[in-house]
Structure 1
Amino acid sequence: MLLLEILLLTLLAGLSMPAGALVARLEHIHPRWLEKEFRHSVIAFGGGALLSAVALVLVPDGIEHLNTRMALIWFLLGGLVFMLIDVLLNLFKTSASQLVAMLADFIPESIALGAAFALGGSNGLLLALLIGLQNMPEGFNAFRELRHSSHYSANRIIVTFALMALLGPVAGLVGFIWLAAYPAFVSAVMLFAAGGILYSVFQDIAPQARLARHWGPPMGAVLGFALGIAGHMLTV
């Protein structure tokens, strides 16, 4: 039963990526300024959800089984690896930077989710909720990036995102079956993901979310984090 729950939660969290892409495809809001503010608010909402995952789950659970030195090493390593990915994407001028960033968040978080259930922690459900909350805006943003900078059709992008969602259950199973016996390694994965996510928020999401003389996007980030707090308080 627990195994089925992990498969279902990781799949639903992953399916929020094509759901976000569908919203981006159907996005036709008038007047033009409102459409622009909505788009930036969605991006900021994803940033708030990512920050809540870092602050409420990944770092608190990650430091539980590691000493200070190892915790800092894995956290900083996550940031450095995501920075290296960013540099390589920029070097090769790929049109899929948001797509890669989305997967780089989703896979280690799904591994951590499976391991959290195996270890009997109370944060597995919360982590699944936060993964879903952040994947929808990331899917929205990645869809727009691919549509504007590649020749891929909208349907092909959405189907690709749906297939990518299947990686969630696979990663969740890895965490549940093989990594739960190594809580220190699971903690390392969580801190690695946290460092990478924090880098992504300030490198990619926050700069894209800002609009001069508009105040909706920052409140989108607050709302994203607020939903993380609500989920934390309801599941603990």
Structure 2
Amino acid sequence: MVPEALLILLLALGAGAAMPAGAVFARFDELHPDWLSTEWRHFIVAFGGGALISAIALVLVPDGTARLAPPAAALSFAAGGVTFFALDIWLNRMKSAAGQLVAMLSDFVPEAIALGAAFAAGESTGLLLAFLIALQNLPEGFNAFEELAHAGRLAQSTVLTAFCAMALLGPASALAGYYWLGHYPQVMGVLLLFASGGILYLVFEDIAPQARLENAWMPALGAVAGFLIGLVGSMLAG
């Protein structure tokens, strides 16, 4: 039987590896631009948004509110939204090409910590959370790589290296949650709801507008598909 700490490390690494995998997929799309239609590109973006919302609705918010009183839960959620709003404004003013990388880390690191904490608390949501993180990281990696490549400020090899380095933060964050934060349920509740507020802001500020496409219906179905897979995973885990 695989030791629990090793299992957590492998799950977090696998979930994080979805980011460079998405980048490789985007690189292939650049080399062969005709194989994927515009509508399917928007489908991929919307799919990531649906997966993010499913993580909020099915894991992060339920687990977070179970650990906190209503005032603390509301404050934590609001603080996450406001913080991501301020971060978005700062990155826009800086005109940084690394904005997409920061955005991905902003939801990946708290979720990886929550993954480790779930195992520490003996909960059944750890495997589901790893699945949902991978599900959202793949289209996020695809979308972020394409945006950074089109910006032209960083070499594509540099972007791909950065994505691989970011993937390694997953195991470190998950082990921190397992060995440390998992023993502080209220701190974890604050972290989960903070991440939820921030992710919800990102979905409606960044992902949903990019997914919109006139006279096309596949992007909206992509959001449904992303949430549906999260829903099925949640039911199976339960």
Unaligned residue ranges in structure 2 (runs of 5+): none
Which residue of the other structure, out of 74, 89, 92, is the alignment partner of 2:91? 89
Distance 1:30 1:65 in 2: 49
| Identity score, percent | 56
Give the 3-state SS of the residue equivalent to 1:65 in structure 2.
coil
TM-score, normalising length from structure 1?
0.97
Corresponding residue for residue 158 of structure 2: 156
Corresponding residue for residue 38 of structure 2: 36
- Which deviates more, 92-101 or 43-52? 92-101
Deviation at 1:4, TM superposition (A): 0.4
Q: Is the 8 A contact 1:105 1:197 kept in 2?
A: yes
Distance 1:92 1:61 in 2: 35
Deviation at 1:141, TM superposition (A): 0.9
Give the 3-state SS of the residue equivalent to 1:211 in structure 2.
coil
Corresponding residue for residue 140 of structure 1: 142
Corresponding residue for residue 212 of structure 2: 210
Corresponding residue for residue 129 of structure 2: 127
- Which deviates more, 147-156 or 122-131? 147-156
Distance 1:26 1:19 in 2: 11
Q: Is the 8 A contact 1:126 1:232 kept in 2?
A: yes
Deviation at 1:99, TM superposition (A): 1.5
How do 1:1-236 and structure 2 match up within 5 A? 1-27=3-29, 28-30=32-34, 35-236=37-238
Q: Aligned-pair RMSD on alpha carbons? A: 1.1
Q: Is the 8 A contact 1:80 1:196 kept in 2?
A: yes
Distance 1:186 1:46 in 2: 24
Deviation at 1:39, TM superposition (A): 1.2
Distance 1:25 1:137 in 2: 13
Distance 2:155 2:236 in 1: 40
TM-score, normalising length from structure 2?
0.96
Distance 2:65 2:18 in 1: 28
- Which deviates more, 96-105 or 77-86? 96-105
Unaligned residue ranges in structure 1 (runs of 5+): none
One-letter amino acid of the structure 1 residue matched with residue 145 of structure 2 = F
Distance 1:211 1:201 in 2: 16
How many residue pairs get aligned? The number is 234
Deviations 1:161-213 (A, max 9, x none): 11110000000011001111101111111000100000000000000000000
Deviation at 1:97, TM superposition (A): 2.0
Distance 2:154 2:14 in 1: 25
One-letter amino acid of the structure 2 residue matched with residue 191 of structure 1 = L
Give the 3-state SS of the residue equivalent to 2:230 in structure 1.
helix
Distance 1:81 1:150 in 2: 28
Distance 2:106 2:198 in 1: 8
Deviations 1:47-81 (A, max 9, x none): 00000000000000000110000000000000011
Q: Is the 8 A contact 1:18 1:162 kept in 2?
A: yes
Distance 1:146 1:65 in 2: 38
Q: Is the 8 A contact 2:97 2:154 kept in 1?
A: no
Distance 1:166 1:232 in 2: 26
Deviation at 1:29, TM superposition (A): 4.8
Deviations 1:203-230 (A, max 9, x none): 0000000000011111001000000011
Give the 3-state SS of the residue equivalent to 1:165 in structure 2.
helix
Q: Is the 8 A contact 1:96 1:145 kept in 2?
A: no
